[in-house]
Chains A and B, each alone.
Chain A
Amino acid sequence: MNKQGNLAAVALALALGAGGARAQSPGLTIGAVYVGSVNDYGYNRSFHDALTQVCKDLPGARLLEAENVPESAEVERVMEGMIQQGARLVFPTSFGYQDSARRVAKRHKDVAFEFAGDGPTARNFGVFFGSTQAAWYPMGVAAGKMTRSGKLGFVIGMPIGYALGNVNAFEMGARSVNPRATTTVVVTGGWSDKAKEAGAANALLDQGCDVVAMHVDSPTTIIQTVEARGAMSIGFQSVEARALAPKGWITGLGFNWAPFITKEAKAVMANKFQGEAVYQGLGEMVVMAPFGASVPPDVQALVNAAAAKVAKGYNPFTGPLKDNLGRQELPPGATIGADQMGGLNWYVEGVIGKVK
């Protein structure tokens, strides 16, 4: 390490020592657990990129990563292992890690946890996520304008409330510019079952959908399948995926976790960590991808306007809203906030699909 690094480390150690904390190592050790590979051009990569960046920026910080950890009993062991290696801030990034993460957090009150999901918080257990739902509204606007057949497709991995919310906002955005647009949903049953994703994309295209969006861990298989058949795609989880669809890319959503992670890491280092529920939307944790070459300027303007509306606080989930079975789910004036999105269990009018 160079002189500045050393000085920083010593300063940090002194600061920690002054705060009365157990300074095990001069820098912060962060542990991250991923359900897939960090090279997935998608969800896991977004965390990997952000965490690596943060660890580069923070002096003395160290990153421990475990990939391909299934949502099973293994997770607890992995997190414990990281804590044994000195991790003081742990990111269980996949939804199904929740139970295990909470148990480990109870056992290690001096380790901070930031869970990518929802649920109750504790002093050392915070939850966070990007509120993607509202951000899908401008995506729907883009799809609604670009579709020629009026049929949009959406592939989701697991039918959880957040995914349903994404679909709903997408459809509402599409309907706002194209009243006859429909969104057909296919569920693959897993966050990254590649063969099923290809099959799902093909099935949607067979049905006449010409724009396909997705909520799975990695958009690559779906985008590549769709591109090969000459249809258009809207990406999710990573803005880099647009490289895969030079012709058909419309736009997409990605995540920018780095500012939030930096803030929490600094809090841990200053011993001021307090678990909270943090949901940020478009413009903060959620970012919009650049437009594809085929998107005309007037569509871009419409989409940007919708995005600006959302960033200023527009919530598409405002009643009255009917579900796709005709029942009224939201009375006039009622809203669904980001913290309630997890409990969503219906599809909005215009979505073709059944919530199992």
Chain B
Amino acid sequence: MTTPLALGVLAGAVLSGTSLLYATLGETLGERAGIVNLGLEGIMLLGASTGFALCAVSGSPWLGLGGAALAGGLANLGFGWLVVARRANQLASGLAMLFFSLGASALVGAPHMGAVIRGLPKWRPAFLAALPWVRGTTLFNYDLLIWIAVPVAVLVWWALFRTRWGLGIRAVGESPAAAYASGRNPAALQYQALAAGGVLGGLAGAHLSLSLTLTWAEYMTSGRGFIAIALVIFSKWRPLRAVAGALLFGGAEALQLQLQARGAEVSPFLLEMCPYLLTILVLLAWGGSRRFFAPAALGRTFYGPD
């Protein structure tokens, strides 16, 4: 019984797109507050290694998940201190964070490499399992992080667009001075956004090590953090569009593996270029009117003194 290509790609896209989605949502929060973190890859790595180490030591993937979220949040707060309190250059700070996390995650993970962990448990509702085209595939047989991925995206959307807090975050992202003038505390809001973003980034990494691969390897994120940064732009800083984008970008990786399994010839490298090229094309399509989509204060870092 073979799965049709579309279903196979969808199944693969969900699996590999989940960590992308969490990372994108986290970065969206930070960028909405006007801060870009090039070290997102590092936050994910910290989450992956901390989660794996804690799970290996304690035997509980939940403890690992919690540790990963905490590690990501704390690391992003550290990054936040540099850019908010010390007003440091965001790009350089992000890269510094990346380097730090490369090393720290390696140190944390090294003693536990090769440990065999139980991983996050998976659930599949019985009525779905009975469906003929679902049985035998990975569809709907998901761990907690995948099940709540879309709800989390909705939560982020709701927080950003339906709460006073979110309004404050977006205000800071548009103009910190105006936000301050209207009685908000820009620094506090930015810290909060970064903390939440860091938690999500840590969870993104944890999904890789605690569910998808059940292992830890140095630099196992393989550039997913940077794909997520592209995805934030691609989805116009909107959490709900990020869901579609994550499926699309995650699907690109799944597609080439699924095609290979069908004996079709496709270059994995050409497929892997797609997320980046798509993002550039999308930016071109907006025709320079990106100002209307991007948070304006983010502009000062990303868009220069124009």
- Chain A residues in contact with chain B, CB under 8 A? 36-41, 45, 68, 153, 184-189, 192-200, 202-204, 206-208, 218, 220-221, 224, 228-229, 243-244, 352-354, 356
Contacts and interface: CB of A to CB of B under 8 A. Distances in A.
Nearest to B262: A207
A203 B217 contact: no
A243 B11 contact: no
Give 7 closest A-B pairs by Cβ, nearest first. A39-B114, A194-B213, A203-B261, A39-B113, A206-B3, A352-B263, A206-B8
Nearest to A353: B263
A196 B257 contact: yes
A221 B8 contact: no
Contacts of A36: 217
Given A186-B257, A202-B138, A207-B262, A220 B11 contact: no
Interface residues of B, number: 38
Interface string B246-278: 000000011001101111010110000000000
Interface string B1-45: 111000110011001100000000000000000000000000000
A199 B114 contact: no
Interface string B183-217: 00000000000000000000000001000111101
Given A203-B257, A203-B260, A195 B220 contact: yes
Contacts of A206: 2-3, 7-8, 11, 137-138, 258, 261
Nearest to A197: B213
Interface string B221-263: 0100000000000000000000000000000011001101111
A265 B2 CA distance: 51
Given A37-B113, A194-B215, A244-B116, A199 B16 contact: yes
A192 B213 CA distance: 11
A352 B263 CA distance: 5
B114 A203 contact: no
B137 A198 contact: no
Nearest to B254: A199
B217 A37 contact: yes
Which of B16, B114, B257 has the most A CB atoms < 10 Å from its CB? B257
At the interface, is chain B mostly helix, strand, loop or mixed? loop
A243 B116 contact: yes
Interface in B94-137: 110, 113-116, 119, 122, 137
Interface of B: 1-3, 7-8, 11-12, 15-16, 110, 113-116, 119, 122, 137-138, 208, 212-215, 217-218, 220, 222, 253-254, 257-258, 260-263, 265, 267-268
A346 to B, nearest CB: 15
Given A193-B222, A206-B3, 10 more contacts: A37-B218, A39-B114, A186-B261, A192-B217, A194-B215, A200-B260, A200-B261, A206-B258, A207-B261, A352-B262
Contacts of A202: 11-12, 15, 138, 257
A40 B138 contact: no
B268 A189 contact: yes
B8 A203 contact: yes
13 contacts: A37-B113, A40-B114, A194-B217, A195-B208, A198-B213, A199-B253, A199-B257, A202-B11, A202-B138, A203-B260, A207-B261, A221-B214, A243-B116
A184 B264 CA distance: 11
A224 B214 contact: yes
Given A39-B114, A244-B116, A203 B254 contact: yes
A200 B257 contact: yes
Nearest to B220: A194
Contacts of B137: 206
Given A208-B2, A224-B214, A196 B262 contact: no
A164 to B, nearest CB: 14
A197 B261 CA distance: 12
B1 A220 contact: no
Nearest to B112: A39
B260 A229 contact: no
B257 A195 contact: no
Nearest to A188: B257
Nearest to B115: A39
A186 B116 contact: no
Given A36-B217, A68-B218, A207-B2, A198 B212 contact: yes
A195 B16 contact: yes
B260 A185 contact: yes
B261 A184 contact: yes
Task: Identify which of B137, B254, B261 gathers the most chain A CB atoms within 10 Å of its CB.
Answer: B261
Given A203-B257, A220-B116, A354 B8 contact: no
B222 A195 contact: yes
Contact of B12 (A41, A45, A203, A244): A203
